[in-house]
Structure 1
Amino acid sequence: MAEILGHRQSELNRIVGERIDGMTGRIGSTLQAQAEATHVNLKHLQERLAVIDAAQANIQTLARDMAGLQAILSNKQTRGAFGQGRMEAIIADGMPIGAYSFQATLSNGNRPDCLIAMPNGAPGLVVDAKFPLEGWNAYRQAPDAERRHAAAQAFRRDMDVHIRAIAEKYLIPGETQETAFLFVPSESIFADLHESFEAVIQRAQKLRIMIVSPSLLMLSVQLMQALLKDQRMREQAHLIQAEVAALMQDLGRLDDRVLKLQSHFAQSQKDVEAILTSTSKISRRGERIAGLELSAPGGEAANDGDNRAGQRFAESVTGKLRLRVVDEE
């Protein structure tokens, strides 16, 4: 029994040892795999944290910029300078030099933010950039409905006063266009105006004041640029027509001179034909003289001399006429 128990005890110890060794190997491999996966995950986490840090830095920079923009727009003078600068940038990028002027003085002493020259000598177009942004900010930042309603009424009053001031100061018959532009430096404000303050838009249109956003101002500038280009093309077309008319006059004079030259050639041809007729008559007379038989001594020699003299005279006259015709040609 002791031997059997000892054998079984040793066998049991061996089996338990093998199982412990197997479990130890599996646990080690599992821990190694978990360590590798943890290392990879930590690496990815570090990369994502780096991206998050960069995004956070960008957000902080954007927040500082927004704070600076809010500080700018909170002041009325700096706000006006911001709207004026954006309007000037749009017009200066789209219009040629000399087609616009900033802070130009009108005949009544007022100075609009921008005066755009129109083609064909038409009156200039006035652009105003003084939008009451402080009233709009009070309306947007109202904490409750009651204050929001009061801020909306105050903003309507500010807009009405500003629109009437533009109509009274800048709409001068014969000097400016019948319509003026009120520039809004934000597309979102422009959209909210049309959505929440339709009455203000209608009153502005009745007074011939068009409220424009940056995109609409840019579109208007492109349209006026096309009109100016068409005007320049029309001016060039008039110059081309004048040059063509002068060319046609020169062509008419050339035609008259060619006709005169043709008449001269025709007259020369007639003169040559008449001379040839005369020379042929002279030749025939010389032949008849040469055919006469004179009985006086020396008559034959005299007749031969006369014939030769007549022929030489006819040949000389004919040669001179031919040289004259060649020279004229």
Structure 2
Amino acid sequence: MTEVLLAALPIIIIVSVLFVYFQRQFKRLQQQQKDQQEPVIKMVTDWNQQTFSQLTQLRQEMQNRLDQSAKALNEQTGVINQQMLVSNKTISERLDKASEVIGGVQKHLGQLSEVSGYIKDLHDTLQAPKLRGNIGEQILTDLIKQHIPQEKFILQHSFKDGLTVDAAIQTAEGIIPVDSKFPMEAFRRYQQSQNEQDRLAAGKEFANAVRKHIRDITGKYIKPDEGTVDFAVMYIPSEPIAYEILVNFPELVEYAQESRITITSPNQFNAFLRVVLIGMEKQQVGQQIKVVLQTLKTIQQEAGKFEETLLLTNKHLTNAKRSSDDALTGFTRLRGKIDNYQVEQPKQATLLD
């Protein structure tokens, strides 16, 4: 037994030594492995911490941006809502106004329909030549009343032979006869001609009607022996008719000038009345100037008389002053003599004497 133990002892010792050696090597390896793992673990830990910090910061930034975006979105939504409210209000107001306008248009359309009916009735009424003449005279009367002072014109002025002109305007040069003529029927046939032949015939008829009116006015109303001027005015109360005569019938204009007749439309007659009014105003100013000059002449005469009176008064005052100066001089001399003349009084005797 002992021998066995002794024989096994070296083995045991070797095994023990090997065990201790390997144990130390193992611990050394563990320590080396631990030393090698610590930097890695630290690096991993640092990386984890850095990553976590960055993620936290990134999450905070994203949260801030989300908050800002949400705030901006809310503000923008509020602005949009406000704009939509204003737009809705504006649209509602415009729709209301549009409804009012449409209602007004419908109302005016109804009125236009009524006016169209009135115009048709007026057109039918104007077919009567006498009524057309009355309307022309009324328009003529209104124009004259708008421009000429009431005391400067006479409506339906009658001459000695019993003929009556529509209006007579009184000027410094004489009375201007004005008569209204309305060759409507001949003009309508001229305008409604369908072909050139009919138009020529209707134009000739229209020209003859105008010539007749011109002759009538010349023969009836130009009467210098009764205070009229040497011309008269033919008033045509229709711009189209007057325009047609003045533009397309120059021979009628020439005939009127030879007959001492001035053809006027409503617009031209309006301008004519303004010229007449200016002449009246100039005449009135001239009369006023004459009155002023006469007054100045009277004042000048009175001023001359007053000057003579002043000169005479000044002469009297000069003479009075000279007399006063002479009297003052004499008085001064007399006073000097009195002052220089001294009466010596006797001395009184005393008891001692």
1:67 to 120, 124, 139: 120
Amino acid at match of 1:248: Q
Structure scoring higher RCO (CA < 8 A, sep ≥ 6) equals: 1
Task: Give the distance between the partners of 1:289 and 1:183, measured in 2 at CA.
Answer: 109
Contact 2:183 2:210 in 1 (8 A): yes
Relative to structure 1, the CA distance from residue 138 to residue 275 in structure 2 (aligned partners, 3 Å threshold; closer, same or farther) is same
Backbone CA RMSD of aligned residues: 3.0
Task: Give the distance between the partners of 1:59 and 1:287, measured in 2 at CA.
Answer: 118
Q: Which range is displaced more, 133-142 or 80-89?
A: 133-142
Q: Quick check: 1:135 aligned with 2:135?
A: no
Relative to structure 1, the CA distance from residue 138 to residue 253 in structure 2 (aligned partners, 3 Å threshold; closer, same or farther) is same
Q: How far is the alpha carbon of 1:196 from its aligned partner?
A: 2.9
Q: How far is the alpha carbon of 1:289 from its aligned partner?
A: 6.0
Contact 1:114 1:126 in 2 (8 A): yes
1:90 to 143, 148, 152: 143
Q: What is the aligned partner in structure 1 of residue 203 from structure 2?
A: 152
Relative to structure 1, the CA distance from residue 142 to residue 271 in structure 2 (aligned partners, 3 Å threshold; closer, same or farther) is same
Q: Which range is displaced more, 232-241 or 269-278?
A: 269-278
Q: What is the aligned partner in structure 2 of residue 271 from structure 1?
A: 323
Amino acid at match of 1:140: Q
1:179 to 211, 231, 235: 231
Q: What is the aligned partner in structure 1 of residue 212 from structure 2?
A: 161
Partner of 1:113: helix, strand, or coil? Answer: strand
Task: Give the distance between the partners of 1:58 and 1:253, measured in 2 at CA.
Answer: 77
Q: How far is the alpha carbon of 1:49 from its aligned partner?
A: 7.7
Structure 1: stretches of 5+ with no match in the other structure: 1-42, 294-299, 302-329
Partner of 1:109: helix, strand, or coil? Answer: coil
TM-score by length of 1: 0.67
Relative to structure 1, the CA distance from residue 260 to residue 141 in structure 2 (aligned partners, 3 Å threshold; closer, same or farther) is same
TM-score by length of 2: 0.63
Q: What is the aligned partner in structure 2 of residue 221 from structure 1?
A: 273
Task: Give the distance between the partners of 2:337 and 2:195, measured in 1 at CA.
Answer: 135
Report the structure number with the largest CA radius of gyration.
Answer: 2
Structure 2: stretches of 5+ with no match in the other structure: 1-95, 347-353
Contact 1:118 1:124 in 2 (8 A): yes
Q: What is the aligned partner in structure 2 of residue 4 from structure 1?
A: none
Q: Percent identity?
A: 22
Relative to structure 1, the CA distance from residue 164 to residue 69 in structure 2 (aligned partners, 3 Å threshold; closer, same or farther) is same
- What is the 5 A alignment of 1:47-126? 53-54=106-107, 56-119=109-172, 122-126=173-177
1:282-305 deviations in whole A, cap 9, x for unaligned?
Answer: 4455567646x7xxxxxx59xxxx
Partner of 2:174: helix, strand, or coil? Answer: coil
Q: How far is the alpha carbon of 1:107 from its aligned partner?
A: 3.0
* Aligned length, in residue pairs: 251
- What is the 5 A alignment of 1:270-289? 270-283=322-335, 286=338
Partner of 1:217: helix, strand, or coil? Answer: helix
Q: Quick check: 1:252 aligned with 2:304?
A: yes
Q: What is the aligned partner in structure 2 of residue 10 from structure 1?
A: none
Amino acid at match of 1:83: G
Q: What is the aligned partner in structure 1 of residue 31 from structure 2?
A: none
Relative to structure 1, the CA distance from residue 48 to residue 80 in structure 2 (aligned partners, 3 Å threshold; closer, same or farther) is same
Task: Give the distance between the partners of 1:134 and 1:163, measured in 2 at CA.
Answer: 17
Task: Give the distance between the partners of 2:204 and 2:297, measured in 1 at CA.
Answer: 66
Relative to structure 1, the CA distance from residue 259 to residue 58 in structure 2 (aligned partners, 3 Å threshold; closer, same or farther) is same
Contact 1:127 1:180 in 2 (8 A): yes
